[in-house]
Amino acid sequence: MSVQGQGKYIVVPEGTVTTPKGFRAGGLHCGLKKTERFDLGAIVCDVPAAAAGVYTLNSFQAAPLRVTQESIAQGGKLQAMIVNSGNANACTGQQGEDDARAMRAASAKALGLEEHQVGVTSTGVIGELLPMDKVLSGIEKLPLSVKADGGDDFCQAILTTDLVQKMTCVRLVVGGKEVHIAGAAKGSGMIHPNMATMLGFMTTDANIESEYLQLLLSRITDNTFNMITVDGDTSTNDMVVVMASGLAENEALHPDHPDWEAFAAAVQHVGEYLAKAIARDGEGATKLIETTVIGADSDDAARKIVKSIIGSSLVKSAVYGADANWGRIIAAIGYSGQPVNVDTVDIRLGDIAVLIQSRPVKFDEEAALAYLKTDTIQIHVNLHMGAGKATGWGCDLTYDYVRINAAYRT
């Protein structure tokens, strides 16, 4: 595949988090999961990488997140991220804090790094102590599992109730240098972003300082990871971390760099791809719901109205049942708490208009039924009030969601 022209990104179909220069990854089974599936993974960089993170705003933030924030705060760099699945190490008190730090210390020793160069995170059941004998034994073996082609193994290691792996990679030319940006994520349930209620990992070989990486990550999070919902539950654990090796050797990126917006667009693509993949893989889901609101009083108002629609259990249930019940959509708009002119709302399901200027219009019910049976449903809303706009993603609510979560712990 040829290199795309300056400033334009291209998707690398076979790319993983190890495609950017300097990164290796891997996973193994250490015994946290009842099956033999991988439950411990790592991303390792050959050099200290500029790092940035965004974290859940749940008040009961899990211990590993605080440890990772401490690591990044000591200079803005990481050289490894360690993650376990099957146990969240959340609401575990001082012992949980000690265990998260023990994971960091053991990983640093195994990989020959300083402790502050290592971040840790966990996902799984809340309120149970980590079986540290299994975790520490697995960490000792991690260096043998970390390799240049270990991106798939890492993706397997971070899954909980996910049905599919979620990863993507793009490349572009920055200042004459080829730059890669890749991402991997897990998330299927407890998805209602405020930050991002999932685990996301991005790697890039771009040369960019930590402060600008943080600026960019915070910016794209609002339009990607913060615009998905599965079930309205904000997790205790989850975060997105970006590591930049700088090994592409491009001139350092910053907001005034001529290729800054092109690089930002590429990062945005990675974030949006992962966010949509999480929404599509919602627990029990059969359909992705993409909702766009335009004509709002502001972008912030549009975002809140989008979230109100995709978070509505009644909207989600109607989509599952292929019921063109636009009344549930307009109700969600009305209780969003945002300014709305009740006389100027348009709603379309795909290309099918169901409401114009807040008045119902006749539509082909059979065509609507056929459309709502497809696997991607688009809801379009025009408020005709201003220039505000936003897009977000959710999924339908099915019987399987209840089945999965009725016995998640047992």
Detail the residues annotated as belonging to a binding site for substrate: 160, 186, 197, 283, 405, 410
Percentage helix, strand, coil for the chain under 3-state DSSP, each rounded to 5? 35, 30, 40
Q: Could you tell me which residues are annotated as the binding site? A: 160, 186, 197, 283, 405, 410
Q: What DSSP assignment string belongs to 12-55?
A: -TT--TTSSTTEEEEEE--SSSSSSS--EEEEEEEEEEEEEEEE
**Segment (H or E) for 91:** none
Alpha carbons 215 and 222: distance in angstroms, whole number: 12
For residue 183 the two structure tokens come to 């991402």
**Segment (H or E) for 242:** strand 239-244
Q: Between β-strands 376-382 and 288-296, what pairing exists: parallel, antiparallel or unpaired?
A: parallel
Residue type, 354: V
Is 197 considered catalytic here? yes
Q: What is the DSSP letter of 287?
A: -
Phi and psi, residue 370, nearest 5°? -60, -45
For residue 244 the two structure tokens come to 């930049």
Neighbours of 1 (CB within 10 A): 9
Task: Give the up-direction half-sphere exposure of residue 314: CA atoms within 13 A in the CB hemisphere.
Answer: 10
Q: Which residue has the tokens 């169901």?
A: 354
Neighbours of 242 (CB within 10 A): 29
Q: Are 326 and 354 in contact (CB under 8 A)?
A: yes
Q: Which residue has the tokens 């999924």?
A: 395
Among candidate residues 185, 177, 160, the one with its CA nearest the CA of residue 16: 185
Q: Are 245 and 20 in contact (CB under 8 A)?
A: yes
Q: Which residues lie closer than 8 Å to 15 by C-beta, 6 or more apart?
A: 167, 168, 169, 170, 171, 180, 182
Catalytic residue selected from 16, 197, 204, 221? 197
Please give the positions annotated as active site: 197
